[in-house]
Structure 1
Amino acid sequence: MTLHVHFPLQFDGRGRTRDDDEALWIRGLIEQVLFTMPGERVMRPDFGSGLRELVFAPNSPELAATTQFLVQSALQQWMADLITVERVEISAIDASLSVNINYAIRRTGNRYQETFLQETAQGGGI
């Protein structure tokens, strides 16, 4: 059995590192790719998607298209061995971006759809 450490790191009721099933573990990895800024990790300065850098850009169709490109590229670069990205949809809704990702886990073939929200500057940013 492979241990998949929960993201963010937590401890279970026994005081041991909490683990997740593969689907939750992969969702956590996707979240790390999306919300890590390039340059944030010392030993991997190109890791991340740049999504958080777009927080202060005005919400627009251009921002949604840029975000879609960044997300798709980052997931293909960093997660290609674990998932097949089937679709990335970005919706600009009021003062936030909705990032909807359809993917399949390569090992099992199971398909998932996850949605992540990122507020833009019009919504006050982070």
Structure 2
Amino acid sequence: MDLSFLGRGWSFPPTFNMRLSGVEMLEQEADIASSLEVLLTTIPTERVMLPDYGCNLQELLYESLDTTTKTLLEDKIESAILYYEPRIDLENVLLDSSRELEGVVLIEVTYTVRTTNSRFNFVFPYYIQEGSDINLTATLNLLPDRN
């Protein structure tokens, strides 16, 4: 099956492979997952040629995590995906605030790739406190599988 229509793009952050004399690329579903991460971490006006692109989760960083804030977070994510990721159909956005006292809210995005009808989920850790002492390896081990 030819999946080239799902796209191909630079890995993020960009990684240069000297052996191949070029930039490492992502394809198909990996490109979509990477695009979702970039979308959720981009602040609108950060991209010169596409100033509305992004999700602006940073403006809610120091807000109390009540029902209003959770609803606003979900709405920002749903709207950004609706406008800027046409390759998928968004099924659900869930916030797991069970680790709120540790300063982490896990955002789980469940989606279906439109052209292949394949279902995936993407988990994004949203840190609600300063991240100077974050153990990235331990955090990644706590995330569920994306498939």
TM-score by length of 2: 0.75
Compute the RMSD of aligned alpha carbons: 1.8
> In 2, Cα distance between the equivalents of 1:73 and 1:118?
17
Aligned to 2:87: 82
Identical counterparts, % of pairs: 24
By how many angstroms is 1:6 displaced? 1.8
Aligned to 2:118: 110
Unaligned runs of at least 5 residues, structure 2: 133-147
CA-to-aligned-CA distance 1:35-92 (integer Å, 9 cap, x gap): 101111122221111112221222223221110010001100111x211111111222
Alignment of 1:1-126 (within 5 A): 3-12=8-17, 13-79=19-85, 81-92=86-97, 93-94=99-100, 95-120=103-128, 123-124=129-130
> In 2, Cα distance between the equivalents of 1:3 and 1:100?
24
Unaligned runs of at least 5 residues, structure 1: none
Point out which structure has higher relative CO (alpha carbons under 8 A, 6+ apart).
1
> In 2, Cα distance between the equivalents of 1:98 and 1:3?
27
Distance 1:124 1:3, change over 3 A: closer
Contact 2:111 2:120 in 1 (8 A): yes
> In 2, Cα distance between the equivalents of 1:53 and 1:78?
19
> In 2, Cα distance between the equivalents of 1:89 and 1:43?
31
